[in-house]
Amino acid sequence: MGYQLFWVALLVGGGYLLYRLIKNTQQPVVRNGSYTTYQAGTCPQCKAPVEAAFLRCPECGYRLKKNCPECGKVVKTSWQICPYCEANL
C-alpha cells in the first residue's frame, strides 16, 4: 500500500511539473519593461527612431523628456500639465 501511494504521488507531482513547464513556455517573456524592443516613434526634430526610455535623441540631442518641477517624475517635453501631480509644466 505504501509503495502504491508513493507512485501515485510521484505521477501526480510529475504531471503537475510538466503542466507548469508547458504553461510557462506559452507566455511571452517581457524583459526590462519591454523597453528593449519598443520604439516610441521618431524624434520630433530630426525624425530619427527613438525608444520609449530615451530622455534625449541619440542623433541630434533633442530633449524628449524632462523632470516635473513639482513632483520630479519624468514627463514628455511636449506636455503642458504633469499627469502625476497636475502641475503646469
Q: Which domain holds residue 77?
A: 55-89
| Location of C-alpha cell 503642458 | 80
Average pLDDT of span 73-86? 92
pLDDT of 30 > 70? The answer is no
Work out the pLDDT band at 36, boundaries 50, 70, 90: very low
In 10 A of CB 48, how many CB atoms?
A: 12
Q: Is residue 5 part of a domain?
A: no
- What percent of the chain clears pLDDT 90, i.e. is strictly above it? 38
Q: How many domains does the chain have?
A: 1
Gap between the Cα atoms of 49 and 58, Å rounded = 9
Q: Is residue 15 part of a domain?
A: no
Asked if residue 6 belongs to a domain, the reply is: no
Other Cβ atoms less than 10 A from the Cβ of 51: the count is 14
pLDDT of 75 strictly over 70: yes
Task: Enter the pTM of the model.
Answer: 0.50
